[in-house]
A and B are shown apart, each in its own frame.
Chain A
Amino acid sequence: MDARSTTLLIVGGGPGGYVAAIRAAQLGIATTLVEGDKLGGTCLNIGCIPSKALIHAAEQFEQACHYAQDTSRAEALRSPLGIQVESPRIDLAQTVRWKDGIVARLSGGVAALLKKNGVQVVKGWARVVDGKTVEVTGTGQDTLRIACEHLLLAPGSQAAALPALPFGGNVISSTEALAPPSLPKRLVVVGAGYIGLELGTAYRKLGAEVSVVEALERVLPAYDEELAKPVAASLRRLGVELHLGCTVLGLSAGGDAVRIRNAQGEESALPADRVLVAVGRRPRTEGWGLEGLMLDMNGRAVRIDDQCRTSMRNVWAIGDLTGEPMLAHRAMAQGEMVAELIAGGRRHFTPAAIPAVCFTDPEVVVVGRTPGEAAQAGLDCINAVFPFAANGRALTLEAGEGFVRVVARRDNHLILGWQAVGRGVSELSTAFGQSIEMGARLEDIAGTIHAHPTLGEAVQEAALRALGHALHV
């Protein structure tokens, strides 16, 4: 068995692990990163990036189809832009190749950054022996034993399975849904959270018939109702069937339908030649020796403090392993902080807000507290909404749907949260996050000149409206 030693050993090369590795190496810490699959983790290979590529392709195709349908209609119903297209087609294999190209480029970029900064990357699957020793197998050579002073656990998460619908055959997770060999005729999506809706929408736009089954009574149950409403309306407009308040019983005997039961107890079957189960993700806690460390847990996740320390000294955990919110940008920020702590810095993971974005159509952004959360925390707040219907740029983009909402304290106008729903609002998350982290008040945003004509004007107008003097509503 080969043996080597390092100061910091990172298990997992996802966004948390690789950022921690780069930062640690920049700070002069001898760093080894162990990754069994591809660098970039779920985010880069089977999550954020490929899903956004697929969504973009689906959107472009749907747009073209939309114009094509218009030409067959009466003059008055045709595309107001005057664009005419005839029978568009999509080569799905090419779409997947294009997406894979982007992923390969980014993954190569991560490898280059690690190399440039002097991180030792070990290819193979890590198995934790104890808090200072890890064995790596699957490299094609001998088992490699690595001793370390600091162990950073960043193994990420995996798609949660439903006991009634185990993965396999036509029942797929988001991973397989992002590399479809062909387009299913009928897709049933189980779970109306952001993953199910993003992919369901993309498949619908690519031409599949899509039904969504959700146990709760509305789509995006993790978000507040006003934000979910425009998304639900858009799904209906696109022709996605919604089966809300329904429980999944399993596949039909023939395997070509999903049996469900609604709130009234009536059973029915939804024909499907593919079933996407998107009912959440679970921290990856099994199969790599985590149990041997006997760390304190927080449900299924590893318990950490505000410095990402676990219950064992010099064993750190970041990202999805540590539970919700399972977001790449949270893992990256944690990874950077852990590297600086190991280098002797004093840091805490206490962000004022962690933005969350759904790339549905329309997009949804939530940063900081919603009015409901503020009220629950006992804070006396005001909130104001500015609709994109009153924003010039939104109308020129045919995106007059949705709104921006701000939540601020009533006494000193400190901004506590922003929410938005609408086309392209994901990019507003930057402004939202900055204003909250900087401790901006409504007056700060109202007093900042926002460029015209942009969607961002709705941000300023929401602040003005909260102050009682909106100009354009």
Chain B
Amino acid sequence: MNETKKRLDVIGKPRRRVDGRAKVTGQLRFADDLALPRMLHAKLLRSPHPHAIVESVDAEKARRHPGVKLVLTGQDFPVPFGIMPVSVDEYPLARERVRYVGDPVAAVIASDEQSAVEALALIEVRYKALRPVCGPQDGLEHPEPRIHDYGEQGNIHRNQAYEFGDVDEALRNADFVAEDLFFYEGNTHLPMEQQASLAFLDQDGKLQISSSTQNPHYLHRQLSRVLQVPESRIRVVATPNGGGFGGKCDPGGHEFVVSKAALVLGRPVKIGLTREEVFYVHRGRHPVLMKMKTGVTKEGKLTGMHLQTLLDGGGYGSHGPASTFYTGVLTPVTYHYPRFKFEACRVFTNKPACGPKRGHGTPQPRFGQEVQLDKIAERLGMDPLELRLKNLTKAGDLTASWLRVGSTGLEDCLRKVAEISDWKGKRGKLPQGRGVGLACSTYMSGAGVAIYWNKMPHSGVQVLLDRSGTVVVYCGATEIGQGSDDVLAAIVAETLGVDTGSVRVVTGDTGITPVDLGSYSSRVTIMAGNAAVQAAERLRASLAAAVCETLGTLPDRVVFSQGKVFAADNTGAGMSFVEAVTMAEAQLGTLSAVGSYSPPKPPGRYKGAGVGPSPAYSFSACVVEAEVDERTGWIHVPKIWMAHDIGRALNPVLARGQVIGGVYMGLSEALMEEQSFRRLPEKLSGALVHRAPSMLDYKSLTALDMPEVEVALIEDPDPNCPYGAKEVGQGPLLPVMPALANAIFDAVGVRIDEIPITPDKVLRALEAKAEGKAPRVGPDSYPSVPYPEPTFVLPPWEGGDGNESRKGGEKRAAAAVV
């Protein structure tokens, strides 16, 4: 970084986002806005059975229907796909088996959508129904019929166990052990934009697909795999997404279908999913049952945690192997646990596949952890704020599981949120029926490891300059509404000393832009941002070298600021940025530079240590105020306070928007969202259907239902991040759910140990309390799960080196002798 330039001109200033004008004027073209001459329309036929063998598909009548150009079935797609190399288990159209109601089995491509819909009804599919697996416990109890012929055993997809130090001993040595069961219902992303894709052959006969995807790079690879077409003959353009939240990370069956159809027919083929289909594509929050044992001393120090999770995976692998890890791995990042053990099991069920949703796998254990801490504080007679402050991890710490904490502003977040919410004045002091609750969380600024194994950069940026003074930034990063285009523009503008108006951003296009892995795991700001800093700094160095003689100074004394280029010690003289570019282009030729970014190597070296590490973690602390009507259980949330450690806010307007959006989504999950299913009476029906696949009946808060949110951004720039900026897209969602549960306890003294927290549960708990029973609603048993023997790793402070320890083997041997 240029030593002579300390003041920031663009970064940290509230600005209109660079894509804002197009959005508010309706000029932005989403995938469904696209149309091409001679375009055809595709519709998918979906399974009405939750679990069945596909015996035959007869599409003859459909093929003869007026307007129909092509019918595709599973036979047209012999190669499976899967976002993770370890779970390539899905076909664009089901071949031999359907695994949930809504699994696509055939596609009709016709001259118009109406004809395609009519033709769908003419396709005759013969199914042989199989017993559906309705939930993870059902899947454990019924290993047969298997939903997939791979996985751990029976219907268990993933099963894993890790132990960092002897946790039994840590719990034995504690003054008491808190033991709790929690349940977190599944929910879905509910982006405003329903997925749409348009595929066609370009002038060179190469396939191009414009699609609402968060990850054009991964889609590119999967298209090549499934269609057996070289990647160089495929171009994926990620259209601006109308919200993603993780729901557009996996490739979707529809994307392969329109691509294949365009290849076969040589005409543009488009598809737009209905809202119901979006519920079936899903890949949302896993329902998770949790058992959590935490050792505590009388003084309120945590001695260790044993966490067990059971995930309802749905019908396919999706990101499931990662999700399974995430129900454990980030738990010890906020507080210091000298020892930590987690066991996690994901079971296949006959429902739409679960996957990554904002917070990916971590909101569920975070909910349990933060509610349990509240119970521990209650038992110790301690302010929950003090208990948390006592156990915080510190900057630079390693966790027992070998994650490097890096910078942390969690203590500042806690103190700030307590101050602005008047925590001390309110907790336990509000009138009966009103209360406040506190919770914390953390999230990764980008996953440390790519989804497929490779040693290449995670993000690349090219910056091009010309004599007009225009700066063009090329990057594979994808704008999903989170503001990634604005982040790139701001970083490059700041580095080159121009305003964002001179910067044009070209993103998410595998035909033009350098690879960026995608908009997931809150990775774009840090990874594409660092690549952009590197590219822009290289260009700035070229410019400085070209103009320094004219300015009569040394290259590292040249300052770039507000469209001017001048010498640090002679600010009066100088030239415009355009003049500098002209001078440099004359001397050096066409001006361009690239930058790239790879995250640092994680400290953990055991197998599985790749999930959880991040170059930087964001931290959040939240206070929710709640009012509970004790006669009806009705819950009202008047206000929420959120302090978020963002490192630095590149654009405070956008950062606040992301915080409030996260709070919105968290509160909606906390109060009502449920991706839940109905099993009709077994004697009469084999049906297992989504309860409410519509915007009206899948209950989610609207803007009108939102309380006031007060946001405090805690800024302490992180050295690993571009201009110090950490993530903000996911973290602030995570503490809302436990903070609400804790607020309800403060208000009326009952514990709701499951999400969502609805009035009927509150009323049931209040009735139990009135009858002198345990004032609690939540799961009351945990099934027997055949977790494997854990991978044993010694924590850093017990002499470990980050590898699996022999002690695990000794433990196993000892157990065998006994």
Q: Do A and B bind each other?
A: no
